Chains A and B, each alone.
Chain A
Amino acid sequence: MLLGHLKLLEAESIHILREVAAQAANPVVLYSIGKDSSVLLHLIRKAFHPARPPFPLLHIDTTWKFRDMIAFREKIVARHGLELRKYTNPEGLARNINPFDNGSIVYNQIMKTEALKQALTEGKYDIAVGGARRDEERSRAKERIFSVRAPGHVWDPKRQRPELWNLYNAGLAPGETMRVFPLSNWTELDIWTYIRAEAIDVVPLYFAAERPVVMRDGAMIMVDDDRMRLLPDEVPMQRLVRFRSLGCYPFSAAVESTARNLDDIVAEMRTTKVSERAGRLIDQDQDSSMETKKREGYF
């Protein structure tokens, strides 16, 4: 039995997900495989139980995700009988856009933001549900739960709809789309305490283990496969590490940690002085980086 504030957050998220199902014509869930997506998926199953989730999942596959993430994705989709739609930017693939030759700005723009916009346009989705939280980054603190995107999937922070009570207006003008964030009011600590309370399965990379890493610009990068380009003097070393945030492996920094289970993670979370997205190298490549990406259509 779930207690305290998590029960209230859970009920709010379920209410939001049911509004999406009731108001959307062609909804989709942006599934990123990470811990927030895992919680989101759990809440979706709860919201519509005993029916199957009424939303297909969309994964923007850059082809550079950790191998453990892809394996986890396949396991979860099979376990819950979900419909998974995968999308990779074909132009980016053809031009071999990759983390090593192109740098994080170009790579992120083409393989993530553009890919997402292409997939949403091709799928003609009116509502895309994502697992973003307001505590992740300061521009997110001002975004609505039901967030209108102008034609071209762009976000205009000055033209946001007022959002009152638990009334969520999903109405759209021609060409507009909607992003919905049911986890808006959750924190990273809420996510982990909920995962523990509900025994939700997450990617093993969140737990500490000996993994091969190299140090680059102060960040520990895991050598996840043989596409990793090592610099002349770089030798991968085994370190006891885990990840707080998962993305494309060349851009996801590991942290040294001994947290091998959920109790350890929650305990670590209460004392850490480093923010979750500090390991996300792409968030720091531009000033107001996240806001800029969001305006362009990134989640």
Chain B
Amino acid sequence: MPSSLLRVLTCGSVDDGKSTLIGRLLFEFGSVPDDVMAALERDSKRFGTVTDGVDYALLVDGLSAEREQGVTIDVAYRFFQTENRRFILADAPGHEQYTRNMATGASTADVAVLLVDARKGLLAQTRRHAAIAWLMGVRQIVLVVNKMDLVGFEQNIFDQIVADFDALRDRLGDIPFAAIPICARDGDNVIRPGSRMGWYGGPSLLSALEAAQPFREPAGRPFRMPVQLVNRPDASFRGYAGTIASGQIRPGDAIANASGAVEARVARIVTMDGDLAEASVGDAVTLVLDHEIDVSRGDVLAASPLPKAADEVTAWIVWMVDTPLFRGRAYSVMLGTRVVSGTITALSARLDIDTLEEVPIQELRLNEIGRVMISLTQPLVCEAYTDSHTLGGFILVDRLSGDTVGAGMVIEAKSRPRNLHWQRLDVDKTVRATLKSQKPAILWFTGLSGSGKSTIANLVERRLVAMGRHTMVLDGDNVRHGLNRDLGFTEADRVENIRRIAEVAKLFVEAGLIVLVSFISPYRAERGLARDTVEAGEFLEIYVDTPVDECRRRDPKGLYAKADAGQLRNFTGVDAPYEPPTTPELHLPTLEQPAESLAEQVVGDLQRRGIVF
């Protein structure tokens, strides 16, 4: 029975003979049964790119679109095993979307196999693959020089490629690597040494993979375990379930919730097979403590020295979707078992993976790797990725679609500097607001240009003032004349525009005011960002719902006429989208009721919510 498991990332394109190599490994170790082989022979005749025999690429390309188009679309996971070891191959396509797919495959890999065509030498592609593997924390590389038969098994050609790779290694740090000359088609040095390269005395590829070390978190790391869930079947049992990220643990050991720092001792390590005397990195366990401390999902149980909770991280981000990443955008950050909101506060550079130099940028596009700073709404226990893949690797999730949009590696985590700590004040917003018989709030009027936002906001404010309440209006157009006059209408500027308006509105909330913001704000994500700047219940999204035809008919500023004539670009409702709110606090259909009665409704709603009392 195999005693260990090795996860291997294979990089290279079909042209390098990668599929032939993988197909051979799968075939030799009995992973390809006869009936699958028969199907493969059938498909080879139909879609195959080799003139005779079996096209192993078809074994590796799992989707019908891939077989028909002769391309590899996605990462595939394949398994084989020898007497000593079970292998999981993550096979990433070499060309299309390679950064995204390679990063995914590399995130769990112990070893990266880089495939090079002996005739072509070390290409830019191999450098990129090495750089991504390095960045993702893969610290063992096997450089496989294939198609040696086509260069007459010449040693000097192999030596030159190895020397070129060695030079690249200077940039990547001292990453250990083995280099193996092979002929995948005939099998030389793949499983057993080949007789045609007597000058090579090293191991075959398989021997190298059998000898490679599974990835371990750096030695001597203290115990850490992100809590997945609290197991509480009845009042007599309370256990914390999770997978140990580093270190080991025994009953009697002192640990703490990293964000609480109150210590407790481990009483039991519970599994269905009985209590354990010890558990270590990689084990899925349930811990019972000697007394109750405040722990829930998302917390990290840790031994001293405790990891710190950060509210700002600098990280490498691999961007994985078509819509670019901008400064000011907010996402869910998922790290360990915790999810918090984070806003991109700086986007300083892109890593050029050909030169490994950092290039200044304004936005980060699909398959690019950038250095960003993320400000978090709640503290997040994390560590540098180089110290811990579990507490340093995270994903960014779009809050509306739920999609994973990027992968991040923490470079540095910090708490906000002490000299910028929030000054605790005796008079706070509640005190200020109570003076005025109100609770502070933001009334965020969103809708198309000409929908009646400003008209209704104006009526609402007049009524509130008549009632003796204290208000402030922020108008999108007016703010652009002053605070935001440096901003244009690109997507990045729009995001920054809304961030500033939200921050100003928040200051007025701190002052205890009812803030009326009238602002087209066409994107849900941006309105969500504004909502997140204040506490729950303080943000009311008010959808001023007027169909675009009616707005165009009213056209109070003559803007629709200009947009229709092509003199205005990116005009919401004409050639730029408007995403209506899905669950606004208030929905005002202006075709059905006059502005006065809609304004009454808003004031009535404020009274019902206790904002005005």
A binding-site residues for B, Cβ under 8 Å: 1, 3-6, 8-11, 14-15, 18-19, 21-22, 45-52, 134-135, 138-142, 157-158, 160-167, 169, 171-173, 176, 184-185, 187, 189-190, 193, 270, 272-275, 278, 287-288, 291-292
Contact = CB atoms under 8 A, between A and B. Distances in A.
B103 A22 contact: no
Given A21-B229, A47-B241, A275-B36, 6 more contacts: A5-B2, A10-B284, A49-B286, A142-B73, A158-B73, A167-B394
B334 interface: yes
Interface of B: 1-5, 30-31, 33-36, 59, 61-65, 67, 73-79, 81, 85-86, 88, 100-101, 103-104, 107-108, 228-229, 231-233, 237, 239, 241-243, 270-273, 282-284, 286, 297, 320, 332, 334-335, 337, 389-390, 393-395, 397, 400-404, 407
B289 to A, nearest CB: 16
Contacts of A139: 62-64
Contact of A46 (B64, B75, B272, B335): B272
Contacts of B63: 139, 142, 157, 291
Nearest to B7: A185
B79 A187 contact: yes
Contacts of B400: 173
A5 B86 contact: yes
A158 B65 contact: yes
A141 B337 contact: no
Contacts of B241: 18, 47-48
Contacts of A142: 62-63, 73-77
B270 to A, nearest CB: 7
A275 B85 CA distance: 21
A165 B85 CA distance: 21
A164 B1 contact: no
Nearest to A14: B284
8 contacts: A15-B228, A45-B272, A46-B273, A142-B77, A167-B335, A173-B403, A273-B34, A274-B34
Contacts of B393: 164-165, 167
Which of the listed residues A51, A272, A287 has the most CB atoms from chain B within 10 Å of its own CB?
A: A51
A14 to B, nearest CB: 4
Contact of B107 (A50, A165, A270): A165
B243 A4 contact: no
A142 to B, nearest CB: 5
A140 to B, nearest CB: 7
Contact of B228 (A4, A22, A162, A190): A22
Nearest to A54: B229
> 3 nearest interchain CB pairs?
A171-B402, A275-B33, A51-B233
A287 B73 CA distance: 19
B77 A134 contact: yes
A277 to B, nearest CB: 9
Contacts of B397: 169, 171
Contacts of B272: 45-46, 49-50
Given A5-B86, A11-B243, A142-B75, A164 B107 contact: yes
A166 B390 contact: yes
Contacts of B30: 270, 273
A134 B101 CA distance: 18
Of B81, B101, B228, chain A has the most CB atoms within 10 Å of the CB of B228
Nearest to A145: B77
A171 to B, nearest CB: 3
A167 B334 contact: yes
Contacts of B75: 142
A141 to B, nearest CB: 4
Nearest to B239: A50
Contact of A22 (B2, B283, B337, B404): B337
Contacts of A3: 1, 3
Contacts of B67: 288
Nearest to A6: B1
A184 B389 CA distance: 22
Contact of B283 (A11, A48, A135): A11
A10 B271 CA distance: 12
A189 B404 CA distance: 33
Contacts of B88: 185
Nearest to B228: A18
A186 to B, nearest CB: 8
A273 to B, nearest CB: 4
B62 A22 contact: no
A134 B282 contact: no
Nearest to B286: A49
B282 A8 contact: yes
Contacts of A163: 104, 404
Contact of B404 (A162, A166, A173, A270): A162
A15 B389 CA distance: 16
A231 B501 CA distance: 79
Contacts of B233: 50-52
Contact of A48 (B61, B85, B108, B231): B231
B404 A161 contact: yes
A264 B549 CA distance: 75
Contact of B390 (A165, A169, A171, A176): A165
Nearest to A178: B402
A50 to B, nearest CB: 6
B104 A141 contact: no
A19 to B, nearest CB: 6
Contacts of B73: 142, 157-158
A9 B404 CA distance: 25
Contacts of A190: 86
B402 A162 contact: no
A4 B33 contact: no
Given A162-B407, A171-B397, A11 B65 contact: no
Contacts of A287: 64
Nearest to B6: A5
Contact of B35 (A187, A278, A292): A278
A139 to B, nearest CB: 5
A276 to B, nearest CB: 8
Contacts of A49: 270-272, 286
A254 B522 CA distance: 61
Contacts of A138: 59, 61-62
B53 to A, nearest CB: 19
A164 B104 contact: yes
Contact of B284 (A11, A22, A157, A288): A11
